[in-house]
Structure 1
Amino acid sequence: MINTRMIKSRMALLNLTQKDIAGKDCWDCALPTVSQKINGVRPITVKEADKLAIKLKCDNPKDYFTLFFNR
């Protein structure tokens, strides 16, 4: 399960919105999809996690693990 709080806090620190995540340079999807995935309603694929990690400037494996595999 993803760490929703940590993802949202990193988004806030980087001044990113869900619209930024939905953009073509990240997930290229609808806003409701981003909301559902970030809030744990729908699963995030590994490819999406990788793209989001880049957008969130998640540079090391420990941070990646904390965001996507830690409660």
Structure 2
Amino acid sequence: MINERKIKARMVEMGLTQKDLMGPDCLDCALSTVSQKLNGRRPLTLPQAERLGRKLELNDLEYFDFFFADKIA
């Protein structure tokens, strides 16, 4: 499960909107689907997560924290 709060906070920091994530360089889907993915209602594929990480300029530790940290107990 992704950390929606951290992703949305990074988007605000970078001045990105959900519309900015629609293109083939990121999530490559419709705006409504972007919203569903960022709100945890639809899963991200690994390629989408990788492209989103690049778009958000995440380093390796941040990538782990944004996409995997809450899965480890």
1:17 is aligned to: 17
- Structure 1 Cα separation of the partners of residues 29 and 45 of structure 2: 13
- Superposition TM-score, scaled by structure 1 size: 0.92
> Alignment partner of 1:26: what SS?
coil
- Structure 2 Cα separation of the partners of residues 28 and 61 of structure 1: 22
- Superposition TM-score, scaled by structure 2 size: 0.89
- Structure 2 Cα separation of the partners of residues 64 and 25 of structure 1: 17
**Partner amino acid for 1:68?**
F
For the pair 1:63 / 2:62, whether they are aligned, the reply is: yes
Task: Give 5+ residue unaligned stretches, structure 1.
Answer: none
2:34 is aligned to: 34
Structure 1: which 4+ aligned runs deviate by more than 2 Å?
A: none
Report how many aligned residue pairs link the two structures.
70
**Partner amino acid for 1:45?**
T
CA RMSD, Structure 1 to Structure 2 (Å): 0.9
Report % sequence identity.
Answer: 56
- Structure 1 Cα separation of the partners of residues 27 and 4 of structure 2: 17
- Structure 1 Cα separation of the partners of residues 35 and 63 of structure 2: 20
